[in-house]
Structure 1
């Protein structure tokens, strides 16, 4: 009889561990219209976060029957490192680049985003290719894949800890070009009072993913991916995009 009770206790403990393994904390930042704080602040949880990617992942986790807590926190570098280092954590909306491929397990794509160089609407700058931007002062977001894309190609990028600082620099004439994403960059600019922007160069379209810590069980990753694929086939993802 004691052996039976011991076996039952072991099963109970294992069951608790397995249940805990199905819980995920999904980190993000303000990147409208994909993920953003309802209040506009740099910290939010669950219902305080909205956007295409946020709504998509709420639907995915519900379909997959996975308990997912969404947390929006600043800055991007901090949440990126936490998802990289800590089991049970994920990060969205994340560009899936070759440099990041083996650092995470991936679910997606959950959205797509164009990478662009923007200038003020009255700027005379014209570019025939990306390398032509090398002679201009370029502002970017520290730790962001878009900025890194240019840096890796030898272009000089002045990175800022907050992306809205680049809007301020553009307004003050401290930079000539801003490397950002479209439409999310336009949203950031509008928040800072700059509506008149012009895309000088559109150089990449990035598919955005949920990046999960490498310790995430493969079975869990597959469940989330299956849920995402099913929602896409049913037209639910298109309906979410249409709301924004």
Structure 2
């Protein structure tokens, strides 16, 4: 009887282990969301909504290839605003979001694949500005514009600053040029790219205050198998030089 009990327990363990590593169903798909965040992800027609091949950029091209290599299905949409798609990914299983800045505060909120790319957090002043700051503490006396629920804005708030948040990062260009804000907290090279799109060149970077890595953030209920396959595909692409090649195509 003891022998039979051991056999039953052994088979039970095998069943549980097999179920935990069961293959994904053929119709499994990740709902990928992104935003206009050039040159990493952007609508080809510069609008605030796009699907599939209407989206390009460093991260968009890379994510497509990652999913292709991993053999995992997906749909891809570019939407607005960031705050909405960020919350959708937090709340809905099988959702993913990029390019998402990885931070310690966000770490437990998602499952992560990356890094896809690197960037810097900066304070920008308009052309001809005489503002000089040595730290974020120095900058606190100025009106600082930022992008709502973006990692840069969240970081400023964690440091006790009170940025004036906009729903579109592009809005901060006009605010900066009209004097509604003194400084713009954004990501480089994104900020310079957006400013050029609005017809403004010669933006001054007055402070670099963080180096950041951009990731694909997946809802916490995403199966570990999906995360592992995607990360393995990315690591392989990086080893092949594919990531560097895509980056050089845009920068």
TM-score by length of 2: 0.89
How many Å separate the matches in 2 of 1:29 and 1:227?
23
Match of 2:27?
Answer: 20
Measured against aligned partners, the alpha-carbon deviations of 1:10-63 in whole angstroms (never above 9, x if no partner) come to xxxxx9972233x11110000000000001010011100000000000110111
For the aligned residues, what is the CA RMSD?
A: 1.3
**Aligned: 1:203 with 2:209:** yes
Q: Which residue of 1 aligns with 2:101?
A: 95
How is 1:151-170 mapped onto 2 (pairs within 5 angstroms)?
151-170=157-176
In 2, Cα distance between equivalents of 1:17 and 1:92? 22
Aligned to 2:121: 115
Partner of 2:38, secondary structure, is: coil
Cα offset, 1:154, TM superposition: 1.0
Matched, 1:182 2:183: no
User: Matched residues in 2 for 1:170 and 1:143: separation?
Assistant: 19
Rg: which structure is higher? 2
Aligned to 1:75: 81
Given that 2:93 and 2:219 are in contact with CA atoms closer than 8 Å, whether structure 1 keeps it comes out as: yes
Structure 1, unmatched stretches of 5+, are: 1-14
Deviation, 1:64, is 0.6
Shift of 1:69: 1.6
Query: TM-score, with normalisation over the residues of structure 1?
Result: 0.91
Q: Structure 2 CA distance, aligned partners of 1:198 and 1:77?
A: 27
Q: Please say if 1:46 is aligned against 2:52.
A: yes
The size of the alignment, in residue pairs, is 229
| Counterpart in the other structure of 1:237 | 243
Q: Which runs of structure 1 show a deviation greater than 6 angstroms over 4 or more consecutive aligned residues? A: none
1:220 corresponding residue in structure 2: 226
What secondary structure is seen at the aligned counterpart in 2 of 1:30? coil
Q: CA deviation at 1:99?
A: 1.4
Task: Compute the displacement of 1:147 (Å).
Answer: 0.9
| 1:128 paired to 2:151 | no
